[in-house]
Amino acid sequence: MELGRYGFTVDPTSAHAREIEDLGFRTLWVNGGQIDRLDVLTDLLAATARAVIAPAIIPPDVYGTDAVIALYRRAEVTAPGRLMIGLGSSQHKPLAALSEYLDDLDPIPRNRRLLAAFGPRTLAVARDRFAGAMPGMITPDYTMRTRQRLGDGAQLIVGLYAVLDTDPDTARETARTPLRFLMGMRSYADSARRQGFTERDIETLSDALVDRVIAWGSASGIAARARQHLAAGADHVYFSVLSDGAQPSGLAAARLLSSAVGIRH
């Protein structure tokens, strides 16, 4: 499924999704924390005209296969070819449980499924049973290593958190907001360790951790980080813009970043 080079994370309740689509982003993403019901994805399909809509992620601990298959089938009726299913791994069950879940998910074609995969075992599942992997909070160096593990046949989608702020103190403080939550999850903490971060980095959310896994600064600087991921083997990078309220977000951020990466409308 063609996602384009760049995507943008949107609030599914925002009135600006169509305008962000019109900036040239070919895929619009929805963070898992904003998916309180699966119908927000079909609502977003209805609010837009062309963009692929992709959740990052649908948690299998919350939504069973019947619900996900029903979502996919509804989308294929109302907006055929525009929904990509992004799944996470269970935080509480072994990898075998994911395999069983996927056995029941076969009505959704493999090329319409992505897995939030970080480590060797989940990357192997992403390679063999999905269109590819969609890791986040990773460095460009780790993107290169991930591409090597996946091989050339699988898609590699990188989620890039970003803060449009050139002040180190305020930018890093905003960046730490999702890190406080994510580094408490085993998959993200283990991923940070694989990337060479220390226990102290993870526990204190050190400047080194923030600066390497989250892009902050000017739009041109954030665009440069996205290009590093593409050069390292990513097929697609999507921006999840963080804001403290004063920093650009939503449509304003999308305008800045679409211009910085050179998307042609």
CB 113 within 8 A of CB 189: no
> What's the whole-model pTM score?
0.96
Q: Give the model's pLDDT for residue 90.
A: 67
pLDDT digits (tens, 9 = 90+) for 178-204: 999 999 999 999 999 999 999 999 999
Given a cut of 70, is residue 94 above it in pLDDT? Answer: no
pLDDT digits (tens, 9 = 90+) for 227-264: 999 999 999 999 999 999 999 999 999 999 999 999 97
33: confidence class by pLDDT, cuts 50, 70, 90: confident
User: Could you identify the residue written with the tokens 């954030």?
Assistant: 222
Distance CA 46, CA 28 (A): 13
Note the pLDDT of residue 149: 96
How would you class 128 by CB atoms within 10 Å of its CB: exposed for 0-12, middle for 13-18, buried for 19 or more?
A: exposed
At residue 135 the predicted structure's pLDDT band, cuts being 50, 70 and 90, is very high
Cα–Cα distances in angstroms (integers) from residue 8 to residues 20, 35, 52, 220, 259, in the given order: 8, 16, 11, 16, 13
Whether the pLDDT of residue 21 is over 70: the answer is: yes
Residue 91 to residue 95: CA distance in whole angstroms: 10
Give all domains of the chain, ordered by start, each with its CATH number.
Answer: 6-261 (3.20.20.30)
Number of alpha carbons in the 13 Å side-chain half-sphere of residue 167: 8
Q: Taking Cα atoms as reference points, which of 255, 245, 253, 146 lies closest to residue 195? A: 146
- Quote the CA–CA distance of 132 and 116 in Å, as a whole number: 9
